[in-house]
Every structure is written in C-alpha cells, then in structure tokens.
C-alpha cells in the first residue's frame, strides 16, 4: 500500500510539467521532461528509463501527443511543431524522433525547418532508429533497428536501412481475437 502511494507521488512529481496524462501511467525510473508547449500522455502508457533515460522535449508553441497503451523505453522525442504517437505503439531504446532541424544550416541563429511527425496506431520502432521531420509512419508498420526514416512508411510494412526502404509486407494488424 505504501509503495503504491509512493509511486503515485513520484509520478506526479516527474509528470508535473505535463499538461495532461491519463490513468495508469507507469514510469520506470525518472524520465527527462522539458515542456514549453503542449504535452499529453494517454492511458496506461509506460515511459521507461531502465536501459537509457527517456527524454521528451516540447518547444514553445509545439505539441507532443502520446496515445494510449504505448511503451516508450529510452527514446528521445523532440517537438518543435508537432509529434503525434498513436495508440499501442512500441519505441525501443535510443530511438530519436525529431520534427525539426532546430536551427538553420547557414545561420545558426535562425530557426530551422520543421514539419509534423505522425506515428499511427500499432507502430513498432526498433533500437537506434531515427525518424526525421515530415514523416508519417502508417498503422501497423515496423521499423528495423538502425534505420533512418526520411519518407512516409506505408501501412503494415517493414522498413530498414539508411535511408529506410520497404523490405516486406506484414500481416495486417487486427484488434479482434478471432
């Protein structure tokens, strides 16, 4: 009983800068959260930092939305405009998701380009994957470890490589048990 109360108090402290979080959030070790925009986390999402510290950064005017039943383990997500992660997504350690360049390539004092990043429902992202600005990873897709994703990923497709390219079609995900 005391341990549950202690974990709730710890979670409230760690999530104090989050705008809205759902029920049943599980934090394993302390994530790094810097929120200057809008950050929401869905129900039953796990943010783990046991292998590598999870880092969530939201710049002013930007939004980061994480859906229900997600598993984020040591990923770094930076939003300068918009990053949306759907329901039932899995992010392995050392994943980097960035929707912007943060600074101009010619003049570092100027802001860089940015474009929204979207991970639809049931997406799986392997270790050390980098997802860059303007990418949509469609429902049921999987990204192999070490890939750099620069273009949209079709639904129910495994992509791999640098830059990531389709490797094979996956069985379509179904919510039904039959």
Active site (catalytic) residues:
103
Give the Cα separation of 140 and 36 in Å (integer): 31
Give the Cα separation of 43 and 93 in Å (integer): 21
Cα dist. 12→23, 36, 39, 85 in Å?
A: 12, 18, 15, 22
For residue 64, give the nearest of 91, 49, 95, 86 by alpha carbon. 86
Pairing type for strands 130-131 and 71-73 reads unpaired
CB of 159 closer than 8 Å to CB of 165: yes
H or E segment at 147? none
Q: Chain centroid to CA 112: how far?
A: 21
Give the Cα separation of 178 and 173 in Å (integer): 12
């Amino acid at each position: 009983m005391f341990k549950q109360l202690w974990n709730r108090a710890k979670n409230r402290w760690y999530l104090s800068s989050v705008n809205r979080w759902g029920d049943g959030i599980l934090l394993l070790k302390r994530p790094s959260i810097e929120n200057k925009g809008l950050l929401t986390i869905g129900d039953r999402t796990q943010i783990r930092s046991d292998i590598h510290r999870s880092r969530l950064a939201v710049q002013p005017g930007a939004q980061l939305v994480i859906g229900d039943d997600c598993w984020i383990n040591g990923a770094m997500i930076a939003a300068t405009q918009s990053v949306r992660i759907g329901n039932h997504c899995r992010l392995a350690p050392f994943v980097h998701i960035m929707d912007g360049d943060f600074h101009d390539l010619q003049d570092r004092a100027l802001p860089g380009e940015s474009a929204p990043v979207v991970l639809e429902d049931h997406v799986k992202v392997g270790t050390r994957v980098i997802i860059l600005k303007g990418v949509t990873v469609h429902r049921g897709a999987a990204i192999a470890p070490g890939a750099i994703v620069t273009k949209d990923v079709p639904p129910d497709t495994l992509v791999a490589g640098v830059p990531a390219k389709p490797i094979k079609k996956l069985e379509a995900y179904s919510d039904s048990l039959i």
